[in-house]
A and B are shown apart, each in its own frame.
Chain A
Amino acid sequence: MRGTAAGLVTAGALALTGCAAASEADAGAVATAFEDPRGDPQDRCDLLAPATRAALEADGAAPCADVLGDVQLPGGDVTAVEVWGGDAQVRLGGDVVFLTETGTGWRVTAAACEPRGELPYDCEVDGP
């Protein structure tokens, strides 16, 4: 009986760990794909959260795919991923990207972010 309980706890812990690892990998993949300059601009725009995409188009007064080309996105390899609830932060070689989990997967809420010490990051691409 004790063995069964221990097995269930282990299986549960492994499932949670596996879940978290998969979530981190997914968030990292979305952040990398969004910042990849070789990617199709339309596909990259589809990786933005709706509110962030709307803000980007409003700021640039043009469709997302056109505005995206003018934004400096340093990109790079994933160096760290933090997932907390439905939010994630992905550190790339040259940037920090923030994401939110949606019904269709992780979507970028902010990118091209510069740290400002204790203050929030200053992000060139950001939502409301």
Chain B
Amino acid sequence: MSSVDEPTYGFLRSNALSLTFGGLFLATLAGQALSGTADVNAQQHTNGLEPLGVLDYVTSSSFWVDVMENWQSEYLQFFVYVFATVWLVQKGSSESKEPGKEGTETDREQRVGEHAGPDSPGWAQAGGWRTALLSRSLGLVMGGLFLLTWTASAVTGWVAFNGEQLGQRQDPVTLAGYLGEADFWNRSFQNWQSEMLAVGSMTIFAVYLRQRGSPESKPVGVAHADTGRTG
């Protein structure tokens, strides 16, 4: 359902944000593939080994561990933030809801069950497990994707680590052994800390700074102490 002042857009303009970021994702992934191939080949050259083609590199564990370790931390960030913002507030931040509204809120506020409107999703009205599941679906999907990509990060990291072990004339390790290696935890923590920094910075910057026209910011003239308004 459109609001009264919502213009009629075609598919591209209606989905411009998703399409732009989808395109940027593919372009930057391609950039990672090309620069990663060049980086690996510089190392291959130093070791007197044959260079790899781009296809060889993008099907290697070295490429996928780098991809997965970044993806898992992004999904962890959103998973933690989605759940944390249910229960925690930051006064004055457009990233937070109003102090006093901590918790899962009432059915009326959430428009579920008998309070669902004609335009509400079917499962918001259905009640039972379907409403319960829809009510947590964003966090659950983010958490599920985190576990999936973190597992993939562990497996690809294990394969890449063992390749490096052999290149350094050392014995390979088991998957359980790799989970106890500093390499795995260093890869995880170095990504996690940057995500926590980014979210924490955004939360507090949104109190005092503005970006006119962005829903990630409060309207420019809104007071610093005003929480939960976006413009």
A-facing residues in B29-76 (Cβ within 8 Å): 46-50, 52, 60-62
Chain A residues within an 8 Å CB radius of B169: 98, 110, 113, 120-121, 123, 126
Q: Does B171 contact A (CB under 8 A)?
A: yes
Q: Does A54 contact B (CB under 8 A)?
A: yes
Q: Residue on B with the closest CB to A53? A: B48
Chain B residues within an 8 Å CB radius of A123: 169
Q: Are A87 and B50 in contact, CB atoms less than 8 angstroms apart?
A: no
A-facing residues in B143-189 (Cβ within 8 Å): 159-160, 162-163, 165-172
A8 to chain B, nearest CB (A): 19
The answer to whether A88 and B166 touch (CB under 8 A), given A54-B48, A102-B50, A127-B47, is: yes
A70 to chain B, nearest CB (A): 21
Q: Does A82 contact B (CB under 8 A)?
A: yes
Q: Does A92 contact B (CB under 8 A)?
A: no
Q: Does A50 contact B (CB under 8 A)?
A: yes
Task: Report the separation of the CA atoms of residues A82 and B173 in the bound assembly, to the nearest whole angstrom.
Answer: 10
B20 to chain A, nearest CB (A): 34
Q: Are A51 and B49 in contact, CB atoms less than 8 angstroms apart?
A: yes
Chain A interface helix/strand/loop/mixed: strand
Scoring A85, A98, A109 by chain B CB atoms within 10 A of each residue's CB, the highest score goes to A85
Chain A residues within an 8 Å CB radius of B166: 82, 84, 87-89, 98
The answer to whether A84 and B49 touch (CB under 8 A), given A113-B169, A120-B168, A121-B169, is: no
Q: Does A49 contact B (CB under 8 A)?
A: yes
Chain B residues within an 8 Å CB radius of A98: 166, 169
Task: Report the separation of the CA atoms of residues A42 and B172 in the bound assembly, to the nearest whole angstrom.
Answer: 31
Q: Are B47 and A84 in contact, CB atoms less than 8 angstroms apart?
A: no
Q: Does A3 contact B (CB under 8 A)?
A: no
Chain B residues within an 8 Å CB radius of A84: 159, 162-163, 165-166, 172
Task: Report the separation of the CA atoms of residues A84 and B48 in the bound assembly, to the nearest whole angstrom.
Answer: 19
Q: Residue on B with the closest CB to A52? A: B48
B-facing residues in A78-93 (Cβ within 8 Å): 82, 84-89
A29 to chain B, nearest CB (A): 18
B197 to chain A, nearest CB (A): 33
B-facing residues in A37-90 (Cβ within 8 Å): 49-52, 54, 82, 84-89
Task: Report the separation of the CA atoms of residues A52 and B60 in the bound assembly, to the nearest whole angstrom.
Answer: 24
B interface vs A, CB < 8 Å? Answer: 46-50, 52, 60-62, 159-160, 162-163, 165-172
Could you give 13 example pairs across A and B, Cβ below 8 Å?
A: A51-B48, A52-B48, A82-B162, A82-B172, A84-B165, A86-B52, A87-B163, A87-B167, A88-B166, A103-B50, A120-B170, A123-B169, A128-B46
